[in-house]
Every structure is written in C-alpha cells, then in structure tokens.
C-alpha cells in the first residue's frame, strides 16, 4: 500500500510547508481556509475549538491533529464564540516577530492566561490536481486524536523536531522544515487511510487484489491494459473485477487509468523536454492523435497549448 500511496502523492506533486509554531493566550482565534490547498493544525499543549460552517464546534486537546484537506474555510480558537483574526495576517505578523496573542501583549490576568494558553503548529499541503479519487475521498475535516493510535504516538518525535525548527530557526531551517512537514503529512494521510477502510477509494488500499491492480496500472503505465488483462493479472473474472474495482475505487478501471495517464502526461509536458509523440508512448498510447484527443477530453486543452502554459492549471 505504501508504494502505491507514494506513487499517487508523487504524481500529484504533493508538497507541504509549516507556517509557525507559537503560543497563544487569552481570547485568541484564527480564521483560515478558502484557498486551493489543504491545511493542518497540531495542538502541542492546551485546548482549543475548531469550527467549520454547517458543523458543530469540535473541541481539540493537547496532541490532537486537525487536517483540512480541501482548504475549507474554518476557524480555530480558544472558544467557539470568539472573534478571529485572518490567518494570513497573523502569519505575516508572526514572521515579523509580533504575536498579538502572546500573554505579554494582552490585558488578561495570569490565571486566565495560564488556563487558555495553547501552543499551535500550523501549515499547509498542496497538490497540482484535485481530480484524483484519493483526494476526493478525504472529508472536509480529519480529526486525529492524541492517544487514538500507537502510530500517531510514534510521530511525536517528528512533530517535536518540526516544532524545534520553527521556534529556533537554525541554519537550514527552511529546507528541513518543509521536508519534515511533507513526511509528517504523508504519515498522517497514511494513518487515516489505514483507519478508514470504508471510504470510497480508500477501501481499495485495503483490498489485496484491487490494490494489486492499481499498482500494476501505476508501475506499468505504458502497458496496453484492458479490463480483461487487468482482471487476468490479479486472478479474477472480467465482470467480478470490474464490479469490485468500481465499488472500492469509486471509478471504473479504464476511467481511472485514463485520468492517471493524463495526469502523468501533464507532468511530462510541464518539463517540456520531450515531443508529444514520445510522451504519448510513455503513458500507453501508440497513436499520437488518440492521445491528443484523450488529453483534451480530460484536461480541456490540447497538449501543445498545455505545454506552452508551462504549469498545471486544471483541477484548481
């Protein structure tokens, strides 16, 4: 499963970074989201509340982790009713050395400050496409509770190292910060997938034969796969394989393969190093016209126009 997940995230140009690791006291509150990127919040100590529109407030405690995979607008605060400051504004202030929610900046008594103080580590994770069923299967909010998993407890050393880089700013911190964040988010997504076998597409990771078929598609992209050949490769009948794949992956086998091939072709076109005909062969098309037609149908523009744009603009 891990190899397949790595391939999917790599193919989507998955990347992540952290904003800050800061202590907030008193009536602190942050509004965030509404951007084409996922966000995460790790509560290192204290307690807080997370609010999404049309959902009841959710209390989080020390060690809890919140993932907002689709960048949905949300608030995180010391209490649900508090006024919040825009997250981008807060990040800009923190980078300039000013923490508006620091205990020394607020006219609060010491008992109130101690009771409501919280240390929060926040950041984002991004990907070049939102059309992959793995991403579509993720809910608006993922709440990973401290103590809920041995694997989550095992990530504390990674979180502590990331917090150190953000708070101490040693030489090379920016690079280390981003790499640690990427590893952390991938680990958290893997943990969520392992604990969510009932969700569309995530269920495919838990089925040995369907996961094997997905791995074959990814590892042998240029192979002229058909439903029959995939079914034969995993030891199933054509009808049983097609029904089981569609049920667990949330998409028909050939449609999944089509979209994955076009995503990989788009990445190759980004590099702008190979002729379209060569890229077509690499993603399983012996006919360049057929490839061009498929590419335009999935991405909305012909390969040449996409290549000139020089970036992935679909699915955003």
The answer to the question of residue 129 being in a domain is yes
**Residue-number span of the structural domain to which 271 is assigned:** 207-309
Same domain, 182 and 222: no
| Domain-ending residue, one of 140, 167, 194 | 194
- Asked if the structure places residue 200 within a domain, the reply is no
| Average pLDDT by stretches of 10, the chain with 316 residues | 77 88 96 90 96 92 95 96 96 95 61 69 85 86 87 89 91 88 92 86 92 95 96 98 95 95 89 87 95 93 76 39
Q: Is 190 contained in some domain? A: yes
What CATH number does the domain containing 45 carry? 2.60.120.280
- Residues 202-260: tens digit of each pLDDT: 999 999 999 999 999 999 999 999 999 999 999 999 999 999 999 999 899 999 999 99
Q: Are residues 150 and 78 in the same domain?
A: yes
Same domain, 75 and 127: yes
What CATH code is carried by the domain that includes residue 259?
1.10.10.60
Assess whether 164 and 120 both reside in one domain.
Answer: yes
Cβ neighbours of residue 180 closer than 8 Å, sequence gap 6 or more: 18, 158, 161, 162, 165
Q: Is 249 exposed, middle or buried (0-12, 13-18, 19+ CB in 10 A)?
A: buried
Are 23 and 171 found together in one domain?
yes
Q: Is residue 202 one of the residues assigned to a domain? A: no
Number of domains in the chain: 2
Quote the CA–CA distance of 111 and 268 in Å, as a whole number: 58
The domain boundary residue, chosen from 194, 219, 244: 194
Residues 168 and 279 in one domain: no
Please classify residue 22 by burial: count the beta carbons closer than 10 Å to its beta carbon, then call 0-12 exposed, 13-18 middle and 19+ buried: buried
Q: Residues 38, 67, 136, 280: is their CA dihedral positive or negative?
A: positive
Burial readout 147-159 (b: 16 or more C-beta within 10 A, e: otherwise) = eeeeebeebeeeb
Residues 154 and 79 in one domain: yes
Cα radius of gyration (the chain): 22
Has residue 184 been placed in a domain? yes
Domain identity same for 139 and 213: no
Per-residue confidence (pLDDT) for residue 313, from 0 to 100 = 40
pLDDT of residue 33: 83
* Domain co-membership, 226 together with 178: no
Asked if the structure places residue 23 within a domain, the reply is: yes
Asked if residue 275 is part of any domain, the answer here is: yes
Are 176 and 273 part of one and the same domain? Answer: no
Domain presence at residue 199: no
41 and 132 within one domain: yes
Closest CA to 38 of 12, 60, 58: 12
- Answer yes or no: do 104 and 237 share one domain: no
Domain boundary (139, 166, 194) is at: 194
């Amino acid at each position: 499963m891990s190899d397949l997940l790595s391939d999917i995230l790599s193919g989507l140009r998955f990347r992540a970074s952290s904003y800050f690791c800061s202590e907030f006291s008193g009536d602190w509150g942050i509004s965030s989201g509404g951007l084409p990127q996922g966000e995460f919040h790790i509560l290192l100590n204290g307690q807080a509340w997370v609010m999404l529109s049309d959902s009841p407030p959710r209390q989080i405690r020390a060690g809890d982790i919140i993932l907002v995979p689709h960048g949905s607008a949300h608030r995180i605060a010391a209490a649900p009713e508090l006024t919040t400051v825009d997250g981008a504004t807060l990040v800009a202030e923190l980078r300039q050395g000013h923490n508006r929610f620091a205990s020394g900046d607020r006219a609060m008594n010491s008992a109130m400050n101690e009771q409501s103080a919280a240390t929060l580590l926040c950041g984002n994770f991004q990907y070049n496409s939102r059309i992959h069923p793995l991403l579509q299967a993720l809910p608006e909010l993922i709440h990973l509770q401290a103590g809920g998993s041995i694997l989550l407890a095992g990530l504390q050393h990674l979180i502590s190292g990331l917090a150190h880089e953000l708070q101490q700013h040693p030489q090379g911190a920016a690079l280390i910060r981003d790499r640690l964040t990427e590893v952390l988010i991938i680990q958290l997504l893997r943990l969520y997938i392992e604990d969510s076998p009932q969700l569309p597409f995530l269920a495919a990771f838990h089925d040995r034969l369907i996961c094997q078929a997905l791995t074959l598609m990814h590892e042998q992209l240029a192979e002229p796969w058909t439903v029959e050949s995939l079914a034969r490769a995993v030891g199933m009948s054509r009808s049983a394989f097609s029904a089981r794949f569609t049920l667990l992956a949330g998409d028909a086998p050939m449609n999944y393969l089509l979209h994955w091939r076009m995503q990989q072709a788009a990445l190759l076109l980004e590099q702008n190093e190979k002729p379209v005909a060569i890229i077509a062969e690499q993603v399983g098309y012996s006919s360049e016209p057929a490839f061009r037609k498929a590419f335009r149908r999935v991405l909305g523009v012909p390969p040449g126009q996409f290549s000139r744009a020089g970036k992935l603009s679909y699915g955003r």
